[in-house]
Structure 1
Amino acid sequence: MEYEVDELIQKYNLPIVQLDNNRNYWLVRTNAGAYFEEFFTENYIAVGWDDFTNFDMFKTKKKDESITKELAEAYPKEQPGRIYGQIHRFLYEMKIGDVVMIPSENSTLIRFGIIESEPRMRSISDTRIDEGACPYVKVRTVKWIKTVRRLELDPYLFRMMQSHQAISNANDYAHFIDRTLHSFFIKNNKAFLVLPVKKEGDIPAYDLIRFVDSIIDLIPLVNDIKGIEQEFEKEDLDLKLNVQSPGFTEFVSNAPHLILGIGLLLIFLTGSKFKGISSSDEEYEANFKGLFEDEFKNGIDNYEQIKNRNIENFSRVKAELPEDIKKLLEESNREG
């Protein structure tokens, strides 16, 4: 019997995220960083132009001439059409479940969150505004999930940060954002496994090739996992590399079961003890009760050799198991 992807994730308690194909991505400015911490600590984002609080005025994407005239009178130094578009975007284009990013001053930090509410009005006292609080009254609730330093930001996202509108659509950067937030995920019927590479300086080609080969060589073992009855070939796995410091290797497949299987095997093989893989050189003794039946382990020829090879090759390039997989290992250790 072959398990469906959902069943396999549940059976092995895999830390893999299934992403909504339709979610959108937004960059929201914070007044040059002035409201960055407030947005974070109070779990919201906001948009200005507070003279206009009637949401119905901005319901259609087509700009009403009477409204743009009012905007021009209220904000003579700004383009009324742009203001209308920004307010409409905040009120009606953003959706619950969308990803939002906010930059700090000079974009030294980028915070990522998930929109959790429809837009609403809030009240704020003049005293708080005088003390430097954000005065904007049109807000949405956000659950913040990750903070990334600019130096660690995916280089493909740098171009996105050049936009200076209050709210910018970032859908063109969706995949780069997804792999920043998640290291083990499924989207559009494709599966992705992103492994951080922390070795500084040049990485010898031999070490990198050995590391990649040790992952690819797991594919025949995936075919032996119970519940995965497809037969995969090495050609079914794609690879993307960015091994600048810090960097990553991204394994991709149109066959989600293949990536699931590789993720399982990495947990199984390197998770039992991976000193040298974690940047802090901590040792983890995994205790995955029921993760694999004993006969699976016993059925792997040269099991110890394969395990040691993976651990050694991870260490050569200072690759790491993704944080979400390491957390699962830690939880298992505590339960054991």
Structure 2
Amino acid sequence: MLVDELVKKVSEISKDTQYWFVRTNDGEYFQYFVDGNYIGIGWNPITMEDLQTKSEFEVKAKIAIIENVNTGTTEGKRKVSDVYNKIVRFKDLRKGDIVIIPSRGSSRFAFGEVADAYVYIENNDKDCPFYKRRKINWITVENTHRLDPMFYQVKNSRHTISNVDAYANYIDNVIRYLYIKDDNAHFILDFLSHDGVNIDSLIDLLTGIKDLMSELNVKFQLGEDIGQSEIRLNLQSPGSVEIKLPSGKTLILLAATLAISACGADEVNIEDKAELEVLVQENPDSLQKIHNAFDSMQADHTKINSF
């Protein structure tokens, strides 16, 4: 069935996924991390064997020697605990977690997924001195000025590695334009215009999408409550529109329909698309509204067409 085929093509993000911001020594190692598909952390004398076989007290004592701090003081204890927690946090990253790293000056962010469940050691690399590493599958590198302003708060963390779960939704919307999470479908439309958003274009976009979703819901007998759809607008320039719908089969069909109407059925990787082609032909007004708005707001067609 067409709907089942489309749902299987959509990425699902686990609700247990955690999100991490990892420093790159003021951007010095950013490109090495990206090109080498890894992230790394310092304190090389603290080995994986130390972490696996020694007590927390013993590892902290070794850190105190390496850092040359006096653990008899409050400040010394805090510094040792900070280093210990960073190393353990790095070790405990889970496969599937998402990491973000900043370039020099945080002008760019790289977003990637932890590729496996363990630390590996590389001690023969002239470019980056960090022995302890994690394999990363990089998803995208984005210019910071194109991201939601919330990311300026993400980069304010000065820790080597810090949890940024509070920004999960914003991060998800960067790494996926169409995804399922917590039994909700999310569809992200990015707009590249640096000018203000024309109100008529925005209204046409939203009404066109609502009308087309209603038609899809009826035609495919999905029984979804389109009125439960939520819209989140980031009307910065550039900006985005996020559409969210419980279950969301209608929203997934919408994404596929927009792809077919934008670039033609032959360019879309869907086996059973005859019904969608008919629907495109039957709804010229709604689709024209949407595509006119896309043109006015300079929609990022690379994502829309990539279904």
CA–CA distance in structure 2, aligned partners of residues 294 and 163 of structure 1: 46
1:36 maps to amino acid: F
Q: 1:49 to 1:220 in 2, by over 3 A?
A: same
Q: Alignment identity in percent?
A: 26
Given candidates 290, 297, 307, the residue that maps to 2:272 is 290
Which residue in 2 is equivalent to 1:98? 97
Which residue in 2 is equivalent to 1:84? 84
CA–CA distance in structure 2, aligned partners of residues 54 and 69 of structure 1: 16
TM-score when scaled to structure 2? 0.87
For each residue in 1:150-208, what CA deviation from the matched residue of structure 2 results, as whole angstroms up to 9, or x when unmatched? Answer: 11122112111111111111111111110011111101111101101223222232221
Residue 254 of structure 1 deviates from its aligned partner by 1.1
Residue 105 of structure 1 deviates from its aligned partner by 0.8
Which residue in 2 is equivalent to 1:277? none
Which residue in 2 is equivalent to 1:238? 230
Which residue in 2 is equivalent to 1:165? 159
Residue 121 of structure 1 deviates from its aligned partner by 1.8
Q: Bigger shift: 163-172 or 70-79?
A: 70-79
Residue 263 of structure 1: SS of its match in structure 2?
helix
Which residue in 2 is equivalent to 1:327? 306
Residue 65 of structure 1: SS of its match in structure 2?
helix
CA–CA distance in structure 2, aligned partners of residues 76 and 304 of structure 1: 72
Alignment of 1:173-192 (within 5 A): 173-192=167-186
Q: Is residue 318 from structure 1 mapped to residue 292 from structure 2 by the alignment?
A: no
RMSD of Structure 2 on Structure 1 (CA): 2.8
1:313 maps to amino acid: A
Structure 1: tracts of 5 or more residues without a match: 274-283, 329-336
Residue 290 of structure 1: SS of its match in structure 2?
coil
Which residue in 1 is equivalent to 2:106? 107
CA–CA distance in structure 2, aligned partners of residues 113 and 171 of structure 1: 15
Which residue in 1 is equivalent to 2:123? 123
For each residue in 1:78-125, what CA deviation from the matched residue of structure 2 results, as whole angstroms up to 9, or x when unmatched? Answer: 71000110111111x201111111111111111111111310222226
Which residue in 2 is equivalent to 1:211? 205
CA–CA distance in structure 1, aligned partners of residues 65 and 115 of structure 2: 34
CA–CA distance in structure 1, aligned partners of residues 287 and 59 of structure 2: 67
CA–CA distance in structure 2, aligned partners of residues 238 and 9 of structure 1: 20
Residue 261 of structure 1 deviates from its aligned partner by 2.3
Kept in 1, the 8 Å contact 2:99–2:114? The answer is: yes
Q: 1:139 to 1:263 in 2, by over 3 A?
A: same
Q: 1:298 to 1:32 in 2, by over 3 A?
A: closer
For each residue in 1:277-304, what CA deviation from the matched residue of structure 2 results, as whole angstroms up to 9, or x when unmatched? Answer: xxxxxxx97796631338943983xx33
